[in-house]
Structure 1
């Protein structure tokens, strides 16, 4: 990479060529691996010169990008990596927040990301506990651990989504439980691929200045304009107030009537006294769930947090919004884990009994989830299973029968392969 890099790149582009420069890093042995690289242009908070930031197993380095070797582009250049944080070591050390060489990492392999404030996001894997934590490194070399973000497994390739959420994936070799009926197991391991999206609030990385300028202002849209109208409340345009618990929501009758059959019936003509009321009450509803439902009515879309999935699903079913109810149920299904599956099954079964068939699809999904991971659930969530046995014995019996059928089918497939 030449200096100034922009001039060299422009010259190569004009000639229709690609410039490649190999950087031979001084003092860098062949056994030291690089697990992630991030580029910073000149004049950023990471330094006045253009540079690469890269990570090894337990350290972070800065590599200045200077002029090419005397032979010109394509020749081998020479650069000296500068240690920014951590320390090279083959020994396992405890994680330690701090600045520069005082910070300690356990295993940084698996990628690097940058947020909109030009902080580095590093995933740090603890080999002993098989958990992944998120470390944050500021341009001044200060390393901190992001609270509340610890995932089981070795998560890799962190990426910040446009809404500020963090995404990563886990690719793990899992050893299944031995099958006593088989004399030989052909495949002792199988691969489990998972993707996690965590509701963080990182500043998303922006477009390059040139691309942002070329893009111009975003186009107007009906969902965007109606969302802005909702955000502007209360104002002179609202003609109705909905009281949910201690909160009041200023809304527009026409939008609620057009988008929701429940409100269409409640606000229609002289069918109810509510049609002339300036304020209506929605009893026995969660204000936070209603706020999300209202966003969906105005814009046609809403991000339902995992902890609000159940409340939104129940309220959407009550207010005759099957599409939103299904979307909220999908959130519940996607967020279930071994520690929560029993409680989720209890909730879904209760909804089927009290609300009818709108929750049968979710209950079937949760049953399949349990059957596929029954052994793991029994190891980690015995208290939840006891509650399930006590409150829904028929459902627990159905799950046990499905588990036996699943195991029998797997054994039959294995025997057919051996024969």
Structure 2
């Protein structure tokens, strides 16, 4: 987190670390032109950031922190400890411990810190250690448990507060709550899906974004809520008057990608037919980058070595287009809905790195509603190709299914029936694993 003046702040359990960037770095970035000196002025050959620990110890582990600039940090909290004035020319930090929010006034001189002085702190809202969901001003409000905070242009703080009922097995109730600069807490949203939503952020379009979750199966979920918020937007940095934009640097992946995009331009010496589509390619690139094509195009080994057009039967054209871009450039953005097709084709064409990358996309996109379909697909791949290519992914999917079997049972009903019909041995294995997990959990109790 940055204060816009060359200082970065990070949480370390109950302490706050400050990273002060060298003036030369800030001048080069255009954020402190005065300190940068005149154009062409000599700069130190090597500059280093200064790392220090702020003279403050939070009463509990810090679960969120935001910086409020001076224009949004003027209002006095409506309740709580301390009586110092909130206004400051340097703004303030607001630190949260999951049950309370505190305001830390900035700046603090190096001499004061060296003398053992502490940052001025003030309770903004909540009560340390008292967990509940209660709206109200200052110390009358209560928080239950949250991770991460964000702020808007007016200095309002937003967080996802999680409340769990010990007698409710459907997961925690999550409330989106707003804390005004004066410390007044208001609940805005109460009907979120029951997952561990956390780490809020305000997008440029005014939406509040929440990430989820703490479990592997729910990784990658993003919830967007249209609250019409005003984000804190970074001001554009001034540039040199009428400075011409420099041309982007050339790179081999970019040039080869441009070569692929230009086809057919007369340079290709081979056409590959996949379904109804034809791809114009270069033999030398395919032979150098893919063992499958190296063997198929080797002189004297196959008639394909002299053919002007090759067939690639039983392949998906869209998956092959992504594979071809990976061969030319060394990278390709794999959409989740095409990841399984790319993984199968990459395995078939002897490209283990691309196969692994596509399987990673599959693993990251699995949900309780799709885990059974993914399991059956991975199981089929292992049955037809062996465990060496898809065994690790299958093990991950099995673990996800077992760990979240109650959620899968509620949300993936029809697809679960396919397990018994299409893969009875897998169905029995998963059932046994669920029973074993339940036995372990009951013994722990």
**Is 1:266 aligned to 2:308, yes or no?**
no
Q: Distance in 1 between matches of 2:198 and 2:263?
A: 42
**Is 1:157 aligned to 2:187, yes or no?**
no
User: Which residue of the other structure, out of 374, 382, 391, is the alignment partner of 2:405?
Assistant: 374
**Is 1:300 aligned to 2:300, yes or no?**
no
Preserved CA contact (<8 Å) 1:312 1:325: yes
Residue 409 of structure 1 aligns with which residue? 440
Q: Distance in 2 between matches of 1:9 and 1:275?
A: 62
Once the two structures are superposed, residues 162-193 of structure 1 have per-residue CA deviations (whole angstroms, 9 ceiling, x without a partner) of: xxxx9852368x9xxxxxxxxxxxxxxxx998
Preserved CA contact (<8 Å) 2:342 2:355: yes
Q: CA deviation at 1:298?
A: 0.8
Provide the secondary structure at the position in 2 that maps to 1:280: strand
User: Which residue of the other structure, out of 301, 315, 327, is the alignment partner of 1:285?
Assistant: 315
Q: Distance in 1 between matches of 2:312 and 2:374?
A: 26
Provide the secondary structure at the position in 2 that maps to 1:23: helix
Matches within 5 A, 1:302-341: 302-341=332-371
Q: Distance in 2 between matches of 1:22 and 1:160?
A: 22
Provide the secondary structure at the position in 2 that maps to 1:298: helix
**Is 1:348 aligned to 2:375, yes or no?**
no
The verdict on how the C-alpha distance between 1:215 and 1:367 changes in structure 2, with shifts beyond 3 A counting, is farther
Residue 211 of structure 2 aligns with which residue? 169
Q: CA deviation at 1:227?
A: 1.3
Matches within 5 A, 1:34-73: none
Residue 423 of structure 2 aligns with which residue? 392
Q: Distance in 1 between matches of 2:76 and 2:345?
A: 61
Residue 70 of structure 2 aligns with which residue? 22
Q: Distance in 2 between matches of 1:29 and 1:396?
A: 61
**Is 1:361 aligned to 2:388, yes or no?**
no
Preserved CA contact (<8 Å) 2:212 2:222: no
Preserved CA contact (<8 Å) 1:266 1:272: yes
The verdict on how the C-alpha distance between 1:404 and 1:239 changes in structure 2, with shifts beyond 3 A counting, is same
Preserved CA contact (<8 Å) 1:374 1:403: yes
Gaps of 5+ in 1: 2-7, 15-19, 33-89, 91-108, 115-122, 134-149, 175-190, 199-204
Q: Distance in 2 between matches of 1:220 and 1:210?
A: 24
The verdict on how the C-alpha distance between 1:253 and 1:12 changes in structure 2, with shifts beyond 3 A counting, is closer
Residue 77 of structure 1 aligns with which residue? none
Q: Distance in 1 between matches of 2:248 and 2:261?
A: 18
Q: Distance in 2 between matches of 1:206 and 1:304?
A: 34
Preserved CA contact (<8 Å) 1:112 1:157: no
Preserved CA contact (<8 Å) 1:169 1:193: no
User: Which residue of the other structure, out of 228, 231, 234, is the alignment partner of 2:258?
Assistant: 228
Preserved CA contact (<8 Å) 1:274 1:280: yes
Aligned residues: 278
**Is 1:383 aligned to 2:420, yes or no?**
no
Provide the secondary structure at the position in 2 that maps to 1:284: coil
Q: CA deviation at 1:159?
A: 7.6
CA RMSD of aligned residues (A): 4.6
The verdict on how the C-alpha distance between 1:310 and 1:367 changes in structure 2, with shifts beyond 3 A counting, is same
The verdict on how the C-alpha distance between 1:159 and 1:226 changes in structure 2, with shifts beyond 3 A counting, is farther
Q: CA deviation at 1:160?
A: 7.7
Preserved CA contact (<8 Å) 1:339 1:380: yes
Preserved CA contact (<8 Å) 1:290 1:312: yes
Q: CA deviation at 1:263?
A: 0.9
Preserved CA contact (<8 Å) 2:343 2:358: yes
Preserved CA contact (<8 Å) 1:132 1:153: no
Matches within 5 A, 1:98-247: 111=150, 154=197, 156-158=199-201, 169-170=211-212, 194-196=219-221, 208=237, 210=239, 216-247=246-277
State the TM-score, normalized to the length of structure 2: 0.52
Q: CA deviation at 1:368?
A: 0.7
Once the two structures are superposed, residues 42-68 of structure 1 have per-residue CA deviations (whole angstroms, 9 ceiling, x without a partner) of: xxxxxxxxxxxxxxxxxxxxxxxxxxx
The verdict on how the C-alpha distance between 1:304 and 1:151 changes in structure 2, with shifts beyond 3 A counting, is farther
Provide the secondary structure at the position in 2 that maps to 1:285: coil
State the TM-score, normalized to the length of structure 1: 0.55
Gaps of 5+ in 2: 4-30, 38-67, 80-134, 136-147, 163-171, 177-192, 224-233
Q: CA deviation at 1:222?
A: 1.8
Residue 78 of structure 1 aligns with which residue? none
